[in-house]
Amino acid sequence: MDTALVLIRHGLTDWNLAGRLQGRTDIPLNDTGREQARGVGRELQGQGFSLVLASPLGRAQETAALIARELEAETGRSVPELIERGFGPLEGRIMAQVSDEESASVQDQLEPIDEILRRAIPALVDLSIEHAGRKVAVVSHGATMRAIRDALAGTKLPRGVDNGEVIEIDIQRLRELAEGLDLVSC
């Protein structure tokens, strides 16, 4: 069997519903988010996924556990490198209420996209090596997944990543990106 990796955004939380920026604040799934997670697990059934991992945040861990239960797959260690982007003073704020000026004034307090890539890309490469020959699902977060997705695509795509969305990772492209950024030796 070929190695495969997918990233899955955690299920919905009350803060997602309110348009509140979560970042690394550990907000739990709501009932809709739990059903989204079970639904993703059902969608992935029969595709050979045998391991579900997640960022250490509770919403990702619970999503992973619900998906794994549907897949009858194992869960494993948390993957801290796939935690959500740090949004500094914007965490907990409703984004529609943050002006462009305020957002611009705190940009230096947000985790830069290149730092997200410097932690996430090597971790994904390592997972592809560690679990060679397996199909692995990894639950992560919207901003982190968007940074990875856009880097792999080579362009900033116009939309975000929805709760419960599954993104297939092209492992060869992932390794090329890592080499190009001098992040790892593949």
Question: Active site residue: 62, 70, 81, 84, which one?
Answer: 84
On whether the CB atoms of residues 9 and 165 are closer than 8 A, the answer is yes
CA–CA dist 138, 25 (Å, integer): 19
CA–CA dist 149, 166 (Å, integer): 11
Half-sphere exposure of 48 (CA within 13 A, CB side): 8
Q: Is 84 a catalytic residue?
A: yes
Q: Is 141 a catalytic residue?
A: no
Residue closest to 144 by CA, chosen among 100, 171, 110 = 110
User: Helix crossing, 171-180 with 142-153: angle to 10°?
Assistant: 80
Which sequence positions are flagged as catalytic?
A: 10, 84
